[in-house]
Amino acid sequence: MEKRTVFAGYSLPALLLVPQLLITIVFFYMPAGQAMWQSFQIEDAFGTTTIFVGFENYRELFKKPEYYKAMGTTLVFSTAVAFLSLSISLLLATMANKQIRGATAYKTLLIWPYAVAPAIAGVLWLFMFQPSMGMVSKALKSAGVDWNPTLNGNHAMLLVIMAATWKQISYNFLFFLAGLQSIPHSLIEASAIDGARPMRRFWTIIFPLLSPTTFFLIVVNITYVFFDTFGIIDAMTGGGPAKATETLVYKVFADGRLGGDLGGSAAQSVILMIMVIAMTAFQFKYIERKVSY
Amino acid sequence: MAEVTLSNIRKVYPGGVEAVKAINFAIPDGGFCVLVGPSGCGKSTLLRMLAGLETITEGECRIGGRVVNDVEPADRDIAMVFQNYALYPHMSVYNNMAYGLRNRKTPEDEIARRVAAAAKILAIEPLLERKPKALSGGQRQRVAMGRAIVRQPQVFLFDEPLSNLDAKLRVHMRVEIKKLHNTLKVTSVYVTHDQVEAMTLADMIVVMSAGKVEQIGTPADVYSRPESVFVATFIGSPAMNLVKGVVSAPGMVQLADTMVACSTGSVATGTAVLVGIRPDEVVLGAAGTHRTAVNFVEELGPSRLYHSTFGGEDFVIQAPPKSADPKAESLAFDIPHHAVHLFDAASGRRIG
Amino acid sequence: MVEKRTFLSAILPHVVLILGVIVVFFPVYVAFVASTWDAATIANGQMGLRPGPHMLENYHRTLFVGTASSTREPVGNMMLNSLIMALMIAVGKIIISIFSAFAIVYYRFPFRMAAFWIIFVTLMLPVEVRIYPTYKIVSDLNMLDTYWGLTVPLIASATGTLLFRQFFMTIPDELLEASKIDAAGPFRFFKDTVLPLSMTTIAALFVIQFIYGWNQYLWPLLITTKDSMQTIVIGIKKMIVTQDALTEWQLAMTTAVLALLPPVIVVVAMQKLFVKGLVETEK
């Protein structure tokens, strides 16, 4: 898609592009390039000398059980959050899409958590589940559950999953609702005439027609869990206990800062970049997102 | 006001497509020229080159004697009415009309005077404070014309200005445009694919096809003496009948199964020709020399179309309702000499 | 309506939605309740679900005085920092991306596509994956602990440019042509036509980017070392001492409420623009 008519000249468009290109190159490409370069180097303990080591950092990385553990954690975390938040929001959107009173009010009441910072969402849930005086923890204790996310890795994982899911419901709800509203009503009527009961109608007509939205949301949710949940994890568990909630992104941060292993951290960054690029490419290829260039 | 002259104008797109091929013609001062042709014939491209919205690959375009090839659209002293009107959606009608004048530093009182005058001519005075969104199609069309009028340009350019209107409004606005031209007498170039618009508006029609000019002339010329098969079939509705034949003797053309007498002029005997006959120029009569079976009839009201076969080809006869029985199974008719157009079968050009 | 209205089918959606709303509101309500009690009540686990009597005191202390143990910085100041950061990111992003999109859509120049792709690829480079090298560059530029360091690296991204490009493509070509005939050059066309027509898109992008800016976490965490530069989202994290009873929960929860209020108000007040922005930036 191109404009039929344009303005002539090179200097004005160049001038208009300079700010964005400059910032992009300085703060995106240079760091990305540097991460790549660093991933092939080892720095000594004092940061005085660096040696080029080729793929050594990557080899080291894939030898470490922690890395696989972080991968597993990320997988569990993202699958759980994507599945939970998608199911809950699909249920809510389906209900809100029925022609009921107050549908717009429900919508308003459900979408605002999008605006809550992940770290703040983490703090809210942390408070409710704080082992000694949290409201929910007390209830759990009286029910006989020895709840302690600061010691029990599974509890900690559960907690970050809940917070991350809570925050993501609004986003998925909005897209599901839009998707549902774009399904022509005549199709629903046709299937009703064809004798499909409401449940059957949902699974045979609505759900398949919604699949582009669902598919899009799955990819978006995975990206969300990968990157945006950093704040949740850092505020709630700091990756602990015993690295039980350390995701791949969190590990890049932790290894580079606390461990000072810049080469290893850079290698992880590069792997993550490749993963993001793969996911974005996937998204473009299969979700009919048309950037017509 | 000015004369518009196009000399050897060509347009070749970067991909190598030649949209306009060496076009030459001149529009006299105050003339109303209609560029007509099927879509993709290059008429819009030609107009846009005149406006300065497309570069001219080759040739020379003059407005009022001045070569404008490299002149910006703003400096060509032209105004344009677009097919979708291109009104600025966020500006009131008044501001839409005033915008071009303001950009040219026209004093506000002068702008107000001109907008008021144009609004009066177009009867849109009550709409001046409205936004385009709040206007009907016909009103938007008027505003688009008002925007052109206030500029008092040397040339008006119209790019299919009526094609977004419904049929009834289109006829109405066509008349308005004609009246406007009679009042303002500004040189106008008008692009359309609608041959009725072309016939009714123009004092000069340029029929185009595949980037080339097929014929230039007055509406009457183009209708009564089409220079090519293309023009013959494009102008006039229902379209001219065309029947294959061979000149068998001076004054006589042999068709597949019959003969037609006509003036063959200097056309050599044995030349393969296409015989063109307008449906309404066929004369019905019981004593007619030709007879044909009627396949089916279309009733139009003021006239009737008899679909038949003649000389082995589909053949339409248009006749007043009273001239024959609507249920007639066959008709007898004559073809007057002057009603026969001969075209060279190979080149499609008019001969004889 | 296709469905027969039975009592169950009429009531079920409301039940499900009300449950959903409760789940969504509950954590925030608990935080609000906590922000109205004193430390002792909370620490003893006696808080309950009813607001307490210490609301004014807690909010006053949080906003203007600061917590005792972890940070001395009053939260009012942090909110100001957050506001400045969110506004700079939102406004900066709008400005540079509307300019770059205008250049890409309304001009033909060499390397135009290259420029587009350079911008486009940044979609795939979230700050989290290039965090230390970016930090290093900002520190080399002496931008640590400055508003510029906090915002400029987050200003450039493909989202805005793509959104504006997409919108500009929907502006009919004829408007530019009419403008050219009306003697408007690029500046006038931008100011008189493109900008007024883009207002909704700008507003939608502003809402999304304001939230994005306000909620930044990792970047300010690294870039700000001085207490006076802290944003509220970072500030709250520093108030929570995980392993310790030292956390002043009533103040932490007050801060949480204060931190989530501005972006939530923006979303609720400008819901239409928010939805438009969200749907279109993702498309």
**Residue of A16, A125, A127 lying closest to C100 (CB–CB):** A16
**Average pLDDT of the residues in C79-99:** 93
Q: What is the pLDDT of residue C241?
A: 67
Place of tokens 């992008």: C205
With CB atoms and an 8 Å threshold, state whether B89 touches C197. Answer: yes
For residues A11-27, give the mean pLDDT: 91
Give phi and psi for B204, each to the nearest 5: -150, 120
Q: Provide the pLDDT for residue C123.
A: 75
How many residues can be counted in chain A? 293
Which chain C residue has its CA at the smallest distance from B53's CA? Answer: C177
Report residues of chain B scoring pLDDT below 70. 1, 352
**Cβ pair C178:B73 closer than 8 A:** no
| Cβ separation C180–B84 shorter than 8 A | no
Confidence class of residue A292 from pLDDT cuts 50, 70 and 90? very low
Interchain CB contact of C249 with A (< 8 Å): yes
Distance from CA of B197 to the nearest CA of C (A): 22
- Taking CB atoms and an 8 Å limit, are A132 and C45 in contact across chains? yes
Nearest to C264 among A116, A128, A138 (CB): A116
Q: Minimal Cα–Cα distance from C219 to chain A, Å?
A: 10
Cis peptide before B238 (omega within 30 of 0): yes
Residue of B nearest to C172 (CA): B86
The two tokens of residue B251 are 């004054």
Distance of CA B291 to the CA centre of its chain: 35
| A34, A108, A289 member nearest C268 (Cβ) | A108
* Residue B129, min C-alpha distance to chain C (Å): 18
Which C residues 189-228 touch A at CB under 8 Å? 189, 211, 214-218, 221
Tell whether C119 lies on the interface with A, counting CB pairs under 8 A: yes
Pairing of strands B252-254, B283-284: unpaired
The count of CB pairs under 8 A between chains A and C is 300
Residues of C whose CB is below 8 A from A109: 21, 24-25
Interface contact C184-B99, CB threshold 8 A: yes
Smallest Cβ–Cβ distance between A100 and the set C14, C42, C103 belongs to C14
**% of chain C beyond a pLDDT of 90:** 30
In this complex, is the C-beta atom of B55 within 8 Å of any C-beta atom belonging to chain C? no
Set of chain A residues whose Cβ sits within 8 Å of the Cβ of C20: 88, 91-92, 95, 106, 110, 169
pLDDT, position C225:
84
- The answer, yes or no, to whether residue A260 has pLDDT greater than 80, is no
Mean pLDDT computed over C123-135 = 79
- CB contact C153 to A (< 8 Å): yes
Tell me, yes or no, if C258 comes closer than 8 A to chain A by beta carbon. Answer: no
Q: Which residues of A26-63 are buried (b: 16+ CB within 10 A; e: fewer)?
A: bbbbbbbebbbebbbbbbeeeeeeeeeeeebbbebbee
pLDDT band at A259 (very low <50, low <70, confident <90, very high): low
User: In chain C, which residues have their Cβ closer than 8 Å to the Cβ of A198?
Assistant: 3, 9
The whole-number pLDDT of residue B185 equals 92
Instruction: Test B73 with C192 for CB contact under 8 angstroms.
Output: no
Contact C177 B53 (CB under 8 A): yes
Look at chain B and count its residues: 352
Inter-CA distances, C61 with C58, C74, C76, Å? 5, 8, 10
Q: Looking at residue C103, what is its pLDDT?
A: 93
pLDDT, position B42? 92
Neighbours of B163 (CB within 10 A): 14
CA distances from residue C199 to B26, C195, C203 in whole angstroms, order as listed: 45, 6, 6
Which residues have CB under 8 Å from C156's CB, separation 6+?
A20, A23, A24, A27, A28, C93, C96, C119, C122
Q: What is the pLDDT of residue C3?
A: 56
φ, ψ dihedrals at C129, nearest 5°? -90, -10
pLDDT tens, A99-123? 778 888 888 899 899 999 999 999 8
Specify the pLDDT at position B250: 86
The confidence score (pLDDT) of residue A258 equals 63
B13 reaches C (C-beta below 8 A) = no
Residue C132 has pLDDT above 90, yes or no: no
Asked if residues C214 and C240 have their Cβ atoms less than 8 Å apart, the reply is no
Q: Which residues of C touch A135 (CB under 8 A)?
A: 30, 45, 47
pLDDT tier at C1, thresholds 50, 70, 90: very low
Is some CB atom of chain C closer than 8 A to the CB atom of B163? no
Contact A114 C267 (CB under 8 A): yes
Work out the mean pLDDT of chain C and round it to a whole number: 85
Q: Both tokens of residue C275?
A: 């939805």
**Which of residues B312 and C10 earns the better pLDDT score?**
B312
Question: What does pTM read for this prediction?
Answer: 0.85
Tell me how far apart the alpha carbons of residues B299 and B305 are, in angstroms, rounded to a whole number: 6
With a threshold of 0.85, tell me whether the complex ipTM lies above it: yes
Q: Do C183 and B100 touch (CB under 8 A)?
A: yes
Burial of A279 (0-12, 13-18, 19+ CB in 10 A): middle
**Does the pLDDT of residue A261 top 80, yes or no?**
no
Of all residues in chain C, the one with the smallest CA distance to B147 is C182
A199 touches C at CB < 8 Å: no
How many CB pairs lie under 8 A apart between chains B and C? 54
Residues C266, C278: contact at Cβ < 8 Å?
no
| Structure confidence at residue C109 (pLDDT) | 87
Yes or no, beta carbons of B86 and C178 under 8 Å apart: yes
C122 and chain A: CB distance < 8 Å anywhere?
A: yes
Residue whose entry in the numeric block shows the structure tokens 């090839």: B69
Interface residue ranges in chain C relative to chain B, Cβ cutoff 8 Å: 172, 174-175, 177-178, 180-184, 188, 192-193, 196-197
What pLDDT shows up at residue C2?
A: 52
What tens digit of pLDDT does each residue of A277-287 get? 887 777 766 65
Q: Minimal Cα–Cα distance from B70 to chain C, Å?
A: 14
Structure tokens at B177: 């445009």
> Confidence band (pLDDT; 50, 70, 90) for C246?
low
Q: Chains that contact C by 3+ CB pairs under 8 Å?
A: A, B
In this model, does residue A293 exceed pLDDT 80? no
Instruction: State the best of A15, A17, A180, A283 to mutate against chain C, taking most chain C CBs within 10 Å.
Output: A17
Chain B partners of C174 at a C-beta cutoff of 8 Å?
82-86
Considering only residues C56 and C197, tell me which one the structure prediction assigns the higher pLDDT. C197
